[in-house]
Amino acid sequence: MEYRSLGRTGIKVSELSLGSWITFKNQVDVDAAAEIMAAAYDAGVNFFDNAEAYAGGKSEEVMGAALKKLGWRRESYLVTTKIYWGLQDGVNESNTLNRKRLIEGINGSLKRFQLDYVDVLYCHRADKNTPIEETVWAMHNIIEWGKAMYWGTSMWSAAEIVEAIWVAEKHHLHKPVVEQPVYNLFERGHFAGEYARFYKEYGYGSTTFSPLASGLLSGKYNAGIPDDSRAATTNMGWLKESVTNKDNLAKVQALESVAKELGCTISQLSLAWCLKNPFVSTVITGASRGSQLHENMKASEVAPKLTPEILERIDKIFGVKEEEEE
Ligand SMILES: NC(=O)c1ccc[n+]([C@@H]2O[C@H](COP(=O)([O-])OP(=O)(O)OC[C@H]3O[C@@H](n4cnc5c(N)ncnc54)[C@H](OP(=O)(O)O)[C@@H]3O)[C@@H](O)[C@H]2O)c1
């Protein structure tokens, strides 16, 4: 496993990491979570991602119980969580980054995890209604109180992140250090556009999510929707549409021939493509079972095989023209 700097912080994260969205609690109980996390840890993963909203808080409980069972030294791994949507519908309790919610939110997460602190606390989305000063001060205080080591953003615009950094610099507060964006062969736009200069100038870290587009980029949907797959779970209408879309499936099938040539699986090739981006600090993977985890961790070995020629072929498959890549 290679380790990369989390942006300009002194923290190193494994280039492949593990998250718990959809899986923990819904598909995976404490024992299975511990087994998957142990396989990841043994492969060198030191970054475990979560959010208060995952399974209505239960995903944090499952991860916390699994950590307890595993008994690892707290210093040897990083745990993250995210706040925004909330767990209640109250007027000050959902879709907000107000001070009260952030502080009550982190206290709730720590209780569910049975931990004293998380390593990164993310604002799960930007909040257009709370003044950015209020959010930055609350995140600063949470760090000062030792409840989080660093803070970050998820799916914020570059302009919103820059504003938060400026506010923090103006008041000598802890700045956000990392963004958590979606990034995979289908949704590859994040590092372009307004972010292209941003990552270079600010040295912001990035912990990217859904590298397999929720499993589509494993090839598992090429012959229909398997009963035990994410797309077969409830409330996944949007995913059903995406994994049965003929254009999407044609691209995955074309990718399969490249994977075969390189002697790897489509999943490994898709993850390796994410790893090739030098602005990515860690690629957060997801797994509903140990076998997927074992397969995915080998993506690090595939990344060096992605020569400029191979990358160009992959771009062609996904219909990307050279200028779009800049
Ligand atoms: N910040 C945010 O807003 C946000 C949003 C989404 C995710 N995330 C984070 O990013 C993490 C990863 O996202 P993700 O779970 O969407 O990642 P993903 O890699 O796109 O999808 C993971 C799912 O794909 C299937 N899969 C994985 N490896 C496979 C393999 N080798 N063969 C066949 N199927 C395979 C599994 O689902 P099945 O077996 O059930 O089909 C697995 O749960 C999340 O856990 C979460 O921590 C963050």
**pLDDT-derived band of residue 326, with 50, 70 and 90 as boundaries?**
very low
Mutate to test the pocket of ligand 1, among 285, 289, 294, 302 (most ligand atoms within 8 A of CB): 285
DSSP string computed for 88-137: S--TTTSS---HHHHHHHHHHHHHHHT-S-EEEEEESS--SSS-HHHHHH
Taking the CA of residue 212 as reference, the ligand 1 atom at the shortest distance is: 20
**pLDDT tens sequence across 146-179:** 999 999 999 999 999 999 999 999 999 999 999 9
Query: How far, in Å, from the CA of 37 to the mean position of ligand 1?
Result: 14
> Locate tokens 């994994």: which residue?
243
Q: Which amino acid is at 192?
A: A
**pLDDT-derived band of residue 321, with 50, 70 and 90 as boundaries?**
low
CB 159 within 8 A of CB 194: yes
CB 84 within 8 A of CB 95: yes
Encoding tokens for residue 224? Answer: 């229909």
| Whether residue 322 has pLDDT greater than 70 | no
CB 269 within 8 A of CB 212: no
Does ligand 1 lie within 6 Å of residue 216's CB atom? Answer: no
Query: How far, in Å, from the CA of 171 to the mean position of ligand 1?
Result: 38
Residue nearest ligand 1's atom 5 by CA: 209
Does ligand 1 lie within 6 Å of residue 252's CB atom? Answer: no
Give the Cα separation of 249 and 102 in Å (integer). 41
Catalytic residue among 54, 84, 195, 199: 54
Residue nearest ligand 1's atom 45 by CA: 19
> Is pTM beyond 0.85 here?
yes
CB 102 within 8 A of CB 71: no
Residue nearest ligand 1's atom 13 by CA: 210
User: Can 54 be counted among the known catalytic residues?
Assistant: yes
**pLDDT tens sequence across 186-212:** 999 999 989 988 999 999 999 999 999
Does ligand 1 lie within 6 Å of residue 267's CB atom? Answer: yes
**pLDDT tens sequence across 209-255:** 999 999 999 999 999 999 999 999 888 889 999 999 999 999 999 99
Does ligand 1 lie within 6 Å of residue 295's CB atom? Answer: yes
**pLDDT tens sequence across 262-299:** 999 999 999 999 999 999 999 999 999 999 999 999 99
Contacts 24+ apart (CB under 8 A), 300-307: 300/1, 300/2, 300/15, 300/16, 300/272, 300/275, 302/262, 302/264, 302/268, 302/269, 302/271, 302/272, 303/272, 303/275, 303/276, 305/262, 305/264, 305/272, 306/269, 306/272, 306/273, 306/276
Neighbour tally for 279: CB within 10 Å: 20
Does ligand 1 lie within 6 Å of residue 187's CB atom? Answer: no
The whole-number average pLDDT for the span 75-84 is 98
Does ligand 1 lie within 6 Å of residue 268's CB atom? Answer: no
The whole-number average pLDDT for the span 85-91 is 96
CB 6 within 8 A of CB 13: yes
Does ligand 1 lie within 6 Å of residue 220's CB atom? Answer: yes
